[in-house]
Amino acid sequence: MSLKPWKKVSDELIKKNPWWEYRLMKFDVGGTQVNYHCVYETPGVMVIPVRDDGKILMVKQLRVLLGRESLEFVAGGSENADSNLEAASGELAEEGGLRAENLIFIGFFDASPGRSNKQVEVFTASQLSETTAEGDEAHEIDPFWFAPDEIDEMIKSGELRDAWSITAWSIAKPRVLAIIDAQRLKG
């Protein structure tokens, strides 16, 4: 069975800010007009920093729309960067206070394909050193370090609920474990 083609009839910008555009698109789907409300966003990045001792950085921050704190990997948008690699490096410095000798692209995912075009690139970061970066003063972040099995357990227990972080972990976990194994052999 083949899906009906969607022919775009119109595309109207409703609202725009530095991070996203809210749009109303109209499509013809087999003779029926369909209104499609969506968000166009800049690409995102998520970074999984791995310390030499095998611990992985996660940050806790208040997510106002949820009314609670959320445990997540370092993440952000690329609207102020020339590349996603540069954005990942910047977010690592801003949220984690870290610089990585090895910042490696691992994969990507579609953040919310039913409402947004946002793609998120996932990076691992290793050979870390401390650094400073200008951050948003209203954006409070608490760092925590976990072993891989602790992250798995937090996902199972529901303590780790952030969809980006869970998705990024499923993409990057084999690479993270390889980094940890390589560090053990060196150490």
Q: What's the confidence (pLDDT) of residue 62? A: 94
Q: Mean pLDDT throughout 51-60?
A: 97
Same domain? For 61 and 31 the reply is: no
Q: Considering its fold, how many domains does the chain have in total?
A: 2
Residue 2: its pLDDT value, please?
81
Please report, in angstroms and rounded to a whole number, the separation of the first and last CA atoms in the chain. Answer: 56
| Residue 59: other Cβ atoms inside 10 A | 19
One domain for residues 34 and 104: no
Q: For a pLDDT cut of 70, what percent of the chain falls above it?
A: 96
Do 34 and 54 fall into the same domain? no
- DSSP state for residue 78 in the 8-state scheme: -
Q: Residue 136's pLDDT is what?
A: 60
Neighbours of 83 (CB within 10 A): 12
Residue 81: what pLDDT? 82
Query: Which domain range does residue 25 map to?
Result: 6-40
Percent over 90 (pLDDT), the chain: 86
Distance CA 119, CA 121 (A): 7
Quote the mean pLDDT of the chain. 94
Closest to 121 measured CA to CA, from 59, 43, 48: 43
Vertex 169 angle, CA 90 and 173, to 5°: 105
Higher pLDDT, 187 or 168: 168
Give the pLDDT confidence score for residue 185 in this predicted structure: 87
What's at 119, amino acid-wise? Q
In a domain, 1, yes or no: no
Residue 160 in 3-state DSSP?
A: coil
Residue position matching structure tokens 């099995």: 149
- Residue 138 confidence (pLDDT): 58
The pLDDT tens digits of the residues spanning 8-44 come to 999 999 999 988 999 999 999 999 999 999 999 999 9
pTM score over 0.75: yes
pLDDT in tens, 94-137: 999 999 999 999 999 999 999 999 999 999 999 999 998 766 65
In a domain, 163, yes or no: yes
* Per-residue pLDDT at 168 exceeds 80: yes
Q: Report the CATH number at residue 129.
A: 3.90.79.10
DSSP E strands in the chain: the ranges are 6-16, 20-29, 32-41, 44-49, 56-63, 68-72, 74-77, 98-110, 119-130, 141-146
104 three-class SS: strand
Judgement on whether residues 31 and 103 belong to the same structural domain of the protein: no
Residue 187 predicted with pLDDT over 80: no
In a domain, 18, yes or no: yes
- The three-point CA angle 63-112-33 to 5° equals 125
Task: For residue 25, give the 3-state DSSP assignment.
Answer: strand
pLDDT at 184: 86
Q: Is the pLDDT of residue 159 over 70?
A: yes
Average pLDDT over residues 39-53: 96
